[in-house]
Amino acid sequence: MKFLDEFRAPESCRRLLERIRAAASREWTIMEVCGGQTHGLLRYGIDQELGGCVRLVHGPGCPVCVTPLESIDFAITLARRDDTLLASFGDMLRVPGSRESLLQVRAATGNVRVVYSPLDAVTLAQKTPDKQIVFFAVGFETTTPATALAVQQASRLGLKNFSLLVSHVRVLPAMELLAGDPGNGINGFLAAGHVCTVGGFDTYEEFTARYKLPVVVTGFEPVDLLTGILECVEQLERHEATVANCYSRSARREGNRAALSLIDAIYEPCDRPWRGLGVVPMGGMRLRAEWAEWDAQRRFQQEMPPVAEPAECRSGEVLTGRIKPPDCECFATRCTPESPLGAPMVSAEGACAAYYRYALARRDPRTR
């Protein structure tokens, strides 16, 4: 990226750290709801540098991690059918279902294909007319426009062998659920810059007014993160709670209107289960009735009953900020990236994977 170095400049980071330490009269608890930000905070040691004045906790910021077990099990069921190919982004393959993963099913059946775009799955449906092609549509508002476009394209082409297994989730309803928990101890939020680039941040204004918690839109580089934390701390010290945009090079208040219009044409909000949070009211997206022909669950006439998480995996507590990954007894012992118990250790944006990669490498006492 052009000018990327300015967002990693050590001197800028030092000045921001000094300003945060000077501004904080107490330790404030701030939650980021973006897995990319979680990795940035640990990669650059920001969590350690701010110890004593800012406590950073990690929310459900990874869409792969919050995809419920029942959706993964349904995807596995489809992939075991002889007449079906399941198309997915690669980061879903190693996420464990209740009994196995899509990676194991691919090894056994060959019916799982990794694609880099939902439109690749549409092309696969054109080239493989004797198979039903199901794309596993996972992600926040960031990836929803692309899957909406895939449905439109399949409709234009008259494809009867393409459908979506929809597991899209919406960030703001999850934040409302967390903010409404009186025991969470969260003082402010860092909002995901890429989500706001698509969805805008005007909808957060009602949230800040209702819960009296500042929301700061920020990016992923160390200067981005420190600027967002400074803004959040300064608001807290002034007893203010507003929406602030510290990612103006990408995010706009109204978002991407073309993308939002496309989403609204194809999808509608719905209640959806999140791993770690349970059913989040209006926390997901589903295909509108006029596009239900491309809904895999409807096409294959199969229910997705809830599936309980393994008792030894504490990913639900990690995803809601109740504990940090090293607080889990299985972290880096029974649960590793090579042998994960839960999604946060698998995904490139998972908090457990971030602590395994960065905190262990720097020999953080909390990971010993």
DSSP string, 198-257: HH-STTHHHHHHHH---EEEE-SSHHHHHHHHHHHHHHHHTT---EEES-TTT--TT--H
* Residue among 260, 183, 180 at smallest CA distance from 213: 180
* Its pTM surpasses 0.85: yes
pLDDT tens per residue, range 45-82: 999 999 999 999 999 999 999 999 999 999 999 999 99
Mean pLDDT of 237-264: 97
Q: What SS3 class is residue 311? A: coil
Residue 274 lies in a domain: yes
Contact 134, 163 (CB under 8 A): yes
- CA-derived radius of gyration, the chain: 21
Q: Please say if the pLDDT value at position 363 is more than 70.
A: no
pLDDT band with cut points at 50, 70 and 90 for residue 131: very high
Predicted confidence band of residue 367 (pLDDT cuts 50, 70, 90): very low
Q: Is 75 inside any structural domain?
A: yes
pLDDT digits (tens, 9 = 90+) for 160-204: 999 999 999 999 999 999 999 878 899 999 999 999 999 999 999
- Encode pLDDT of 318-361 as tens digits: 999 999 999 999 999 999 998 899 899 998 889 999 999 998 87
Tell me the β-bridge partners of 270. Answer: 284
Helix (H) or strand (E) holding 6: none
Cβ count near 9 (within 10 Å):
13
Give yes or no for residue 90 having a pLDDT over 50.
Answer: yes
Provide the mean pLDDT of the chain: 93
Is 354 part of any domain? no
Is 294 part of any domain? yes
Q: Residue 320 CA to chain centroid, in angstroms?
A: 12
User: What would the two tokens of residue 288 be?
Assistant: 């509108």
Under the banding of pLDDT at 50, 70 and 90, the label for residue 11 is very high
Q: Which residues pair with 225 in a beta bridge?
A: none
In the predicted structure, residue 311 carries a pLDDT above the cut 90: no
N residues, the chain: 368
Of 313, 308, 317, nearest in space to 346 by CA:
313
C-alpha distance from residue 306 to each of 17, 54, 208, 258 (Å): 45, 37, 32, 35
Domain for residue 310, yes or no? no
Q: What is the extent of the structural domain holding 122?
A: 68-170+256-299
With 80 as the cut, is the pLDDT of residue 247 above it? yes
CATH number of the structural domain spanning residue 80: 3.40.50.11740
pLDDT digits (tens, 9 = 90+) for 145-159: 999 999 999 999 999
- 10 Å CB burial of residue 35 (0-12, 13-18, 19+) is buried
Please give the Cα distance from 57 to 185 (Å, whole number): 10
- Environment class of 60 (CB within 10 Å of its CB; exposed 0-12, middle 13-18, buried 19+): buried
Whether the Cβ atoms of residue 235 and residue 244 lie closer than 8 Å to each other: yes
**Tokens describing residue 261:** 């219009």
φ, ψ for residue 62, nearest 5 deg: -125, 110
Is residue 312 in some structural domain? Answer: no
Handedness of CA 138, 193, 285, 57 (dihedral sign): positive
Taking the C-alpha atoms of residue 332 and residue 337, their distance in angstroms, rounded to an integer, is 8
Residue linked to tokens 């990226």: 1
Q: Are 344 and 320 in contact (CB under 8 A)?
A: no
- Report the distance separating Cα 147 and Cα 145, nearest Å: 6
Q: Establish if 309 belongs to a structural domain.
A: no
**DSSP states along 120-146:** HHHHHHHH-TTSEEEEEEEESTTTHHH
Instruction: State how many domains the chain has.
Output: 1
Q: How confident is the model at residue 254 (pLDDT cuts 50, 70, 90)?
A: very high
Indicate whether 177 belongs to any domain: no
pLDDT value for 2: 53
In the structure, what pLDDT confidence band is assigned to residue 368 with cuts at 50, 70 and 90? very low
